[in-house]
A and B are shown apart, each in its own frame.
Chain A
Amino acid sequence: MKSLSEIETISKRASRAVGFSWGISEEVGRNMKLLELFSLKGIKHLNEYFKQRSNEKFENLNLISENNKSSKLPYCPIILGVSFLDQIKTLEKFNKIKFYNIAFPLLFLPFLSRSSEIIGKKINFKFDDKEFVLNHNVNILSNLPMDDCPITAQNSEIIFIANEDNFTNQEWKNLYKLSENTFVDETDSLKKGAAGAGLTDND
Chain B
Amino acid sequence: MQVQLRDPNKIMKLSRLGSFHQSKLSFLRSFLEEFKEWNFKRDLFDLDKEGYGTVIYSLKKNERTYSLICFANRINNKERSDRVIATKWDAAFTLHDGIPTKHDIERLRGEVPLQEVGRLSYKELTLSRANRSVRVFDHVVKSLSNGNQPDLSILDKVGYLYRTTAVYGSGKFGLADRFRIKNREEINGPFRLEMMLVYLVRQFTFDQVNHIAKCIDPNKSVSLDTDICKNLGIGNSTGLGMAPFIVNHPTLLNNWIYTREIALKKIREIKNVKSEDYNLFIKCVRNSIKNITSWNTESEYQLKKIKSLLSNIKKFLEFADNNFNSKIEYTFNKIYLWLEKETCEETIEYIVSIMMEPYDNIVKPLTKQMSSEEEKYFNIPTNRTVEELRNIIEERYPDILKINFKEKKNYQNFWFISKNKEEPRYADRFNENGSELEQPLAIARDIKELHDELITCKDSLTIDKFLAKNSDLRHVIRRAFIIEKFPYSEIQDNTIGKNVVPIDMLRLKLSFFGALKFDPRSDKWLRICMFQGAPLPHNLKNYNSQWVYNP
Give the chain A neighbours of B167 by CB distance below 8 A: none
Contact of B121 among A1, A13, A82, A86 (CB under 8 A): A1
Give the chain B neighbours of A86 by CB distance below 8 A: 380, 382, 463-464, 467-468
Please tell me if A85 contacts chain B, counting CB pairs below 8 Å.
Answer: yes
A37: nearest chain-B partner, CB-CB: B179
Please tell me if B193 contacts chain A, counting CB pairs below 8 Å.
Answer: no
Contact of A3 among B177, B382, B472, B475 (CB under 8 A): B177
Give the chain B neighbours of A44 by CB distance below 8 A: none
A118: nearest chain-B partner, CB-CB: B379
Q: Is the CB of A1 within 8 A of B179?
A: no
User: With A and B bound together, what is the CA distance between A87 and B468 in angstroms?
Assistant: 10
A13: nearest chain-B partner, CB-CB: B417
Nearest Cβ on chain A to B111's Cβ, whole angstroms: 13
Q: Is the CB of B474 within 8 A of A83?
A: no
* CB contacts between A and B, total, < 8 Å: 75
Give the chain B neighbours of A83 by CB distance below 8 A: 464, 468
Name the segment of B11-19, B168-176, B316-324, B362-370 touching the other chain. B168-176
Contact of A21 among B177, B178, B383, B472 (CB under 8 A): B472
Q: Is the CB of B382 within 8 A of A24?
A: no
A8: nearest chain-B partner, CB-CB: B171
Determine which residue in B176, B440, B468, B472 has the highest number of CB atoms from chain A within 10 A of its CB, and name it.
B468
Q: Is the CB of B122 within 8 A of A24?
A: no
- Give a binary string over B380-393; 1 marks a CB under 8 Å from any A CB, 0 the rest: 10110000000000
Which of chain A's residues 68-98 have a Cβ closer than 8 Å to chain B? 82-83, 85-90
Which of chain A's residues 9-55 have a Cβ closer than 8 Å to chain B? 13, 20-24, 26-27, 30
User: With A and B bound together, what is the CA distance between A95 and B396 in angstroms?
Assistant: 40
Contact A24/B174 with A87-B464, A90-B464 known, Cβ cut-off 8 Å: no
Nearest Cβ on chain B to A66's Cβ, whole angstroms: 16
User: With A and B bound together, what is the CA distance between A30 and B475 in angstroms?
Assistant: 13
Give the chain A neighbours of B473 by CB distance below 8 A: 21, 23
Q: Is the CB of A89 within 8 A of B474?
A: no
- Give a binary string over B121-148; 1 marks a CB under 8 Å from any A CB, 0 the rest: 1100000000000000000000000000
Please tell me if B456 contacts chain A, counting CB pairs below 8 Å.
Answer: no
Contact-size category for A: 20 to 34
User: With A and B bound together, what is the CA distance between A4 and B178 in angstroms?
Assistant: 9
Q: Is the CB of B122 within 8 A of A26?
A: no
User: With A and B bound together, what is the CA distance between A22 and B463 in angstroms?
Assistant: 17
Please tell me if B477 contacts chain A, counting CB pairs below 8 Å.
Answer: yes
Contact of B478 among A23, A63, A118 (CB under 8 A): A23
Which of chain B's residues 456-504 have a Cβ closer than 8 Å to chain A? 463-465, 467-469, 471-478
Give the chain A neighbours of B478 by CB distance below 8 A: 23, 26
Give the chain A neighbours of B379 by CB distance below 8 A: 85, 114, 118
User: With A and B bound together, what is the CA distance between A86 and B380 in angstroms?
Assistant: 8
Q: Is the CB of B471 within 8 A of A21?
A: yes
Q: Is the CB of B440 within 8 A of A5?
A: no
Contact of B440 among A2, A22, A63 (CB under 8 A): A22
Give the chain A neighbours of B172 by CB distance below 8 A: 3, 5-6
User: With A and B bound together, what is the CA distance between A89 and B471 in angstroms?
Assistant: 19
User: With A and B bound together, what is the CA distance between A89 and B464 in angstroms?
Assistant: 10
B119: nearest chain-A partner, CB-CB: A1
Q: Is the CB of A23 within 8 A of B378?
A: no
User: With A and B bound together, what is the CA distance between A198 and B332 in angstroms?
Assistant: 49
List 17 A-B pairs, Cβ < 8 Å: A3-B175, A3-B177, A4-B171, A5-B170, A5-B177, A6-B172, A6-B173, A6-B174, A20-B471, A21-B471, A21-B472, A23-B474, A23-B475, A23-B476, A82-B467, A86-B382, A114-B379
Chain B residues in the interface with A (C-beta under 8 A): 121-122, 170-179, 378-380, 382-383, 417, 440, 463-465, 467-469, 471-478
Knowing that A6-B171, A86-B467, A87-B382 touch, tell me 17 more A-B residue pairs with CB under 8 angstroms. Answer: A1-B121, A2-B174, A3-B172, A3-B177, A5-B170, A5-B172, A20-B471, A21-B471, A22-B440, A22-B474, A23-B475, A24-B474, A30-B378, A62-B468, A82-B471, A86-B464, A89-B382
